[in-house]
Amino acid sequence: MSTGTKTVEAAGTAVRVRPAGYGVVRIGARGRFLLHRRAALVAVALIVLLAAVCVAYLCVGESFVAPGEVVKVILGQPSPDELVVGTLRLPRMVTGLLVGLAFGVAGALIQTVARNPLASPDIIGISQGASALTVGAMTFGVTSYTVLPYLSVIGGVAAAALVYVFAWRGGLHAARFVLIGIGFAIALRSVTTLFLTKGDYLVAQQAKIWMTGSLNGRGWDQAAPLAWTLLLLLPAVLWAARAQRTVSLDDDTATALGVRLGQVRLGLVAIGVVLASVATGTAGPVDFVALLAPQIARRMTRTAQIPLLCSALLGAVIVVFADLLARKLFSPTELPVGVLTAAVGAPYLIWLIVRGRGGGRGRNGGTA
């Protein structure tokens, strides 16, 4: 079994052998867990890269702020740049970072369950479900960025539940899951367009900007609820990181081990849906982040499963860096961050389909 430790019979004694590339990290007398060495190195490198991108984000803008002044603002010391850094750039950067983390983990979990690189929240209708309910609420006068994330969760969960039910035929077939999700995504986009045509003109314009994925105007009022939500979901994400190996087992092996794969898969999808929906409610559907981050992370680490930490960090790097470019490329005009992520993600999606990996077949056949 490639996803767990191997067992070798030697002189009548079962000896547990670590998988290649893994090391054992011990915590206390009994605590121990396996750690993929390359994935750990990649995670450290991504943390350094993310820190560098965040510093650049806080320094660069309409006016350049020296790194020393940025440090002063972060430490709460008096600085003439406190308004620019502490009020305008820092909360927007933190919001983008958290949104990227959420999309990175959500994409990794859903792609793991479906065993398909196309099974991204923004491809299979989850983001569209969140968007449809949110835009519908906006057209009826609900424009509070505190309320919108909760409506997005309801819309995303409802869309995911419908996709999951329609795709279930004695099991969750990867190809059917993706294709039905794409169908729901198209239908829900039509619903969103209907709301836009029926709503007030000014509200419709605001909703259109939100639908492209935008961090413009985001402050601590949006960053704080998102941070608390991710913190509350942390135990579930830690469980998901362990459950990934279980999902990679075939049905017969899982049954022999007493693992209820259906419940585990449903749990992973539920966590991914909530994360993607909350992120969508905060910044709009920032397209292709959940598609790109898991696959890049997997290629960088060369692991059997998508590494959640690396995928999360990559999602954060992508969103923060894309928003930095969105602020500077056509300054003083700011682009929505979703425009930049779509410019990179759309060619990657085409490349996936051309390669023939969009056929929906998982590694172990067609059923996830």
The per-residue pLDDT for range 21-61, each reduced to its tens digit, is 665 555 555 555 566 788 889 999 999 999 999 999 999 98
Contacts of 173 (CB under 8 A, 6+ apart): 167, 360, 366, 367, 368
Per-residue confidence at 209, pLDDT binned at 50, 70, 90? confident
pLDDT in tens, 132-186: 999 998 888 777 777 888 899 999 999 999 998 898 887 777 788 889 999 999 9
* pLDDT-wise least confident of 107-111, 214-218, 323-327: 214-218
Separation between Cα atoms, residue 215 and residue 230, nearest integer Å? 18
pLDDT in tens, 220-274: 888 888 899 899 999 999 888 888 777 776 767 777 777 777 788 889 999 999 9
* pLDDT-wise least confident of 11-20, 331-340, 345-354: 11-20
The CA distances from residue 60 to 55, 272, 339, in Å, are 9, 33, 20
Residue (of 328, 293, 257) closest to 99 by Cα position: 293
Q: State the residue for tokens 């502490």.
A: 86
3-state DSSP assignment of residue 8? strand
At residue 205, the pLDDT reads 83
Kindly state the tokens that stand for 324: 């930095």
Whether the per-residue pLDDT at 75 is higher than 50: the answer is: yes
Domain residue limits, the chain = 97-359
Q: State the residue for tokens 């966590």.
A: 271
User: CATH code for 97-359?
Assistant: 1.10.3470.10
Contact assessment for residue 104 and residue 316, using Cβ atoms and an 8 Å cutoff = yes
Contact assessment for residue 331 and residue 131, using Cβ atoms and an 8 Å cutoff = no
Q: What does the mean pLDDT of the chain come to? A: 83
